[in-house]
Amino acid sequence: MALPEPLPWHEGPWRALAAARRAGRMPHALLLWGPPGLGKGLLARRIAAALLCEAPEEESPCGRCRACGLVAAGTHPDLTVTAPEEEGRPITVDAVRELCARLALASHGGGWRVAVLEPAERMNVAAANALLKTLEEPGPETLLVLVSHLPGRLPPTVRSRCQRLRVPMPAAEEALAWLAARAPEAAPETRAAALAAAHGAPLLAETLLAEGLLELRAAVLEAWERARRDPVAAGALAADWDRGRLERALGWLEGWALDLACLATGAGTEALGSPDLAARLRALAEGLDLIRLHRFHERVRRARRLARETQAAVQPLWEDLMLAWSGEELA
């Protein structure tokens, strides 16, 4: 297994960190933040590999030594990666205590010990509190990397003890060039559509292409448009969905409902989460009752929670929403 390739838009934060390290100002806690789909977790692993590598080249991991191999395989004893046990679940206090205990031990390799928390905003209050002591008094050669696309959800006590490092959204040109190398079989206009649907985030665009999700996104929007006239047909779209597809669909629907609220209050295309769909969203927003829209948005949020946290059946969740959107129930 190989270390993840460096991504072009990681170069800025990477250089900033390398400079800090050269100057002897390597932080003990980092908050890597930026929109989803930029590979922040991959960057966290490369940072860990750079510290643990046995033969680093300048500040980069060599990718060939035993330590780099162990980081790539996820089995390096001086690297702890803490994530929710299941997607959508919190990072628990027990998991954070275990992380802190491992950081307090002497390092196996005699050098750095690194812990990555991802997504850090998933720590519940008790977990965040458990982390504070380690953040306040990290041992020598200890690095905690918090990865988050919602840093505002972290307690200020945690945030203020981390050095913030923003992972920037690449320029469209750079993102498209990267995407062309990763998905050469897709037509250029398909790649551009995927990047637009991913709000500019290249890794997200790659996933949309690889999993055929662009077609799904188009079908979901079509069903929503259709639900006003024919909620039954719109509901039937979910007949062969698995939970993953439902969660994607609900995520889009929630974003679009917010976009409709923006449009209904006079915002321009630049304020939208899905500017590529502006014309169709504008048509949906026409004459829309904001209270009704707000109720619908709440229902979508509730459905998302149910889809994530319970075993609620997939199709009924979707059908309910299409029916709700079609009329009576939300009035």
Q: Which residues bind Zn ion (CB under 5 A)?
A: 53, 61-62, 65, 68
Match 């009752």 to its residue by tokens. 289
Report which residue type is found at 94.
D
Q: Which two tokens stand for residue 185?
A: 């079989």
The nearer residue to Zn ion, 76 or 245, going by C-beta atoms, is: 76
CB of 67 to Zn ion, least distance (A): 5
Match 């004893």 to its residue by tokens. 77
What is the DSSP code (8-state) at residue 123?
B
What is the per-residue DSSP string for 142-201?
EEEEEEES-GGGS-HHHHTTSEEEE-PPPPHHHHHHHHHHH-TTS-HHHHHHHHHHTTT-
CA distances from 72 to 65, 80, 205, 244, 250 (A): 11, 13, 24, 27, 33
The nearer residue to Zn ion, 42 or 321, going by C-beta atoms, is: 42
CB of 73 to Zn ion, least distance (A): 13
The nearer residue to Zn ion, 53 or 81, going by C-beta atoms, is: 53
The nearer residue to Zn ion, 1 or 218, going by C-beta atoms, is: 1
Q: Which of 156, 159, 134 is nearest to 144 (CA)?
A: 134
The nearer residue to Zn ion, 65 or 216, going by C-beta atoms, is: 65
Q: Is 83 helix (H, G, I), strand (E, B) or coil?
A: coil
CB of 58 to Zn ion, least distance (A): 12
CA distances from 93 to 29, 90, 100, 103, 152 (A): 19, 9, 10, 15, 20
Report which residue type is found at 215.
E
- For residue 82, list its beta bridge partners: 117
CB of 79 to Zn ion, least distance (A): 13
CB of 69 to Zn ion, least distance (A): 8
The nearer residue to Zn ion, 53 or 167, going by C-beta atoms, is: 53
The nearer residue to Zn ion, 60 or 190, going by C-beta atoms, is: 60
